[in-house]
A and B are shown apart, each in its own frame.
Chain A
Amino acid sequence: MTRTLLTGNAAAAWGARLARAEYVPAFPITPQTEIIEKLGGWIDAGEMDGRMVTLESEHSMITAAGAAAAAGVRVFSATSSQGLLYGMEMIYTVAGWRAPFVLVNVSRGLATPLTLESDHNDVLAARDSGFLQIHCSTCQEVLDSVLIAYRLAEDARVRLPVIVNLDGFYLSFTREPVAIPDPETARRFLPPPDPERAHFRASRPISQAVAVLGGGPYSYFRYEIHRAAQNALSVYGEVADAFAAAFGRSHGLFESYRTDDAEIVFFMMGSFATKAKAAVDCLRADGWSAGLLRPRLLRPYPDAEIAAALAGTRGVAVVDQNLSIGKGGVLYTELASALAARRDASPVLVSFIGGLGGRDIGAEEFFEMAAVTRKAAQEGRAPEPRLLYTATELREMRKLQSIALRERHQIGEIPPARRASARPEREERP
């Protein structure tokens, strides 16, 4: 085992290499491309067995991945954002094929407006597809999760593809110390795929993905996918235990950081969760009873385990780095449903939306969220959901808008009389 500095992208590529991925259908997209470049370099240099094929779109890429996986080949692929959405038809389709492979998604906000930086709306668009989802917060976790994901995906009780998610920039381009497992230990942890499970072979045509009419067969096939995903909860536990035994690192269903006696808990996923840990340390140093609960496995969602882990917590600050337009934060909704089944006193949930499009979340914002949540817990009443957005940011926005207005005035699109009413109102300071 070597400990070295790797970007999140390089860590993902190492995961695929140590998993001995045999087939890599690829299509480039920022901020994921480095993964494919690394694998391409290794395959080209003969350091990795396997075949890389560049496809003409993510739609074809995911089709190729699913087809090869159905043929019993160990498949790795990666994408991001608009690319994941472009392939979305096949994301749902190949999950129904019960074709196990690993797809790394490097999270990047979705258009419109177009951006390169990170949030989780891209991967959450695949939330209901039948792909399982593992969310990472460090580069080490990216490498480890790719190995874990293969074993989970290929287990006969599961047989579903898995997305391993890492944040663009904050992990994809950021180097951190990563322990690279030695190939032999990786091989023992993740043996070659079972040839018996391949049901799709050359020269033996079968029809996969048949059409059904009438809801009965449809319901059966879809619900079986759901059952397999539910199985993945307990299978995950076994896989994580085996991983810890082999490599000495534990990656549970979720990460609990100083939650044991915590009154206030941050609930969030992805790389910003390590910032929450830093904030927890500061808060603890000042006598606050704070902690962090970070879901790793988002699909399947460990309702009961999460609810149990929050027993005794008085207030939860749910920080969603996503926005379900017209509803709010996705993690908030999911946590509320997980807690709804409990009979005992549930904690007060406070919803925060932060980090959209890679917007930073400052230490003082974590402290303020803790203060707001503590107050809500004391009063037994949560405030309205809060977008982390400052008056300073709106002032910067107003500068851009004034350029746009001036432009529209210059081209005669907005006559002077209407210009005044079209000008945005000045923001009010709280």
Chain B
Amino acid sequence: MYCIRLHGRGGQGMKTASRILGSAFFEEGFEVQDAPRYGAERRGAPIFAYVRAARRPILERGIIRRPDLVVVADETLVPVSAAGVVQGVGPYTVLLIHSAEAPAVWKRRLKLGGEVFTLPVAPEDRADVPLIGASCAGAAARLVGEISRDALEEAIRSELVGMRAEVVAENLERALGAYDRLAPHAGCVREGDAEGVGPFESPDWIDLPFEDARISAPDIHAGGTSVQVRTGLWRTMRPLIDLEHCHRCAWVCSTFCPDGAIRVDDAGAPQIDYDHCKGCLVCVAVCPPHAIHAIPEEQAADAAAAENAA
């Protein structure tokens, strides 16, 4: 059974990558299980997905503890311990990582025994461009060596059904490009050995002691902790207030904002707290003179970069 774990950030297309891989394996006649894992967070939060593929029915479930291939879409996740990128990585585990640094650097840095491959970071790549997922899926398909170019293409078309033709074409180009680039390494991922019982390490079960409710109830006692959570990272659209058209009504947008992320200064001008605005765009809908509009977050990032450069 092949056990593949994919790590990325919400929005980078890792769930789609896992589905592309899963469908491609299925296309080749494998039994497949694929699933994403995430919490309540959305864009930007570490997520992972996994794919199991075997020539027999798959009984195993849940987290892959000993992966044969680890795919990392975002190298900034490696030092994040909660992301668990190197968890269970063994001497034969192959690592595929999106990075400008050389494979040897990663091999040394993470003390890896298995092979390491890097996918170059394209200049147009940004954390929120899901094309990263396509190249990850294409490269992983080739490294496994069981998936034909046609099966990969078919899987991408079926997973992206309903998307615009140019989006599908772009994804295909990325995935097949990565697939072709890794041709010399086709089949370097080994199927994990079937596990018998053998000499297994007993789980270190313990008896939970009673503890006072002051300790054992899940309370947060300090106030205002939500301020520390930058939910603004979830935003895909950024509301912008045109102060020239704002009537200084002083209450509509700030009152309707469900996150309390708009405050009004002494002159009556509203200001958006972008650290906590989730981009729901309620303010855009309710502003009486239509003085608030929204732009995609990536455009805002471009504009900010241009401003800095200037």
Residues of A near any B CB (own CB < 8 A): 4-5, 112-113, 116, 169-170, 173-177, 271-272, 274-275, 277-278, 281-283, 285-286, 288, 360, 362-365, 367-368, 386-392, 394, 401, 404, 407-408, 410-411, 413, 422, 424-425, 427-430
Contact = CB atoms under 8 A, between A and B. Distances in A.
A298 to B, nearest CB: 20
Interface in B41-86: 58-63, 65
Contacts of A363: 195, 200
B22 A175 contact: yes
B196 A282 contact: yes
Question: Which of B23, B203, B220, B221 lies at the interface centre, i.e. has the most chain A CB atoms within 10 A of its CB?
Answer: B203
B214 interface: yes
Interface stretch (B6-14, B205-213, B247-255, B282-290): B205-213
Interface residues of B, number: 44
Contact of B61 (A275, A404, A413, A427): A275
A278 B59 contact: yes
A425 B34 CA distance: 41
Contacts of A387: 205, 207-208
B205 A367 contact: no
Question: Which of B35, B212, B219 lies at the interface centre, i.e. has the most chain A CB atoms within 10 A of its CB?
Answer: B35
Contacts of B33: 174-176
Contacts of B208: 387, 389, 394
B59 A177 contact: no
Contacts of A413: 221
Contacts of A275: 59-62
Contacts of B221: 404, 407-408, 411, 413
Given A174-B35, A175-B34, A389 B222 contact: no
B181 interface: no
Contacts of B31: 177
Nearest to B18: A175
Given A387-B205, A391-B204, A408-B221, 13 more contacts: A5-B32, A112-B218, A170-B61, A174-B35, A175-B19, A175-B22, A175-B34, A175-B35, A278-B59, A368-B205, A389-B206, A394-B208, A422-B212
A132 B285 CA distance: 46
Those 6 A-B pairs whose CB atoms lie nearest each other, nearest first: A278-B59, A174-B35, A113-B218, A391-B204, A286-B197, A274-B59
B184 to A, nearest CB: 30
Given A177-B26, A274-B61, A282-B195, A365 B203 contact: yes
A419 B53 CA distance: 52
B206 A362 contact: no
A240 B298 CA distance: 54
Given A283-B197, A286-B197, A5 B26 contact: yes
A272 to B, nearest CB: 7
7 contacts: A177-B32, A282-B197, A367-B200, A389-B206, A407-B222, A411-B222, A430-B204
B37 interface: yes
Contacts of B22: 5, 175
Contacts of A4: 26
B196 A174 contact: no
Question: Which of B23, B63, B197 lies at the interface centre, i.e. has the most chain A CB atoms within 10 A of its CB?
Answer: B197
A427 B37 contact: no
A92 to B, nearest CB: 30
Contacts of A391: 204-206
Contacts of B60: 274-275, 278
A427 to B, nearest CB: 6
B151 to A, nearest CB: 13
A4 B63 CA distance: 23
A390 B206 contact: yes
B36 interface: yes
Nearest to A172: B35
A386 B217 CA distance: 22
A360 B37 CA distance: 13
A5 B23 CA distance: 7
Contacts of A271: 61
Nearest to A176: B33
B244 interface: no
B46 to A, nearest CB: 16
A168 B206 CA distance: 27
B203 A169 contact: no
B197 A285 contact: yes
A430 to B, nearest CB: 6
A343 to B, nearest CB: 35
B24 to A, nearest CB: 11
Given A281-B59, A286-B196, A386 B218 contact: no
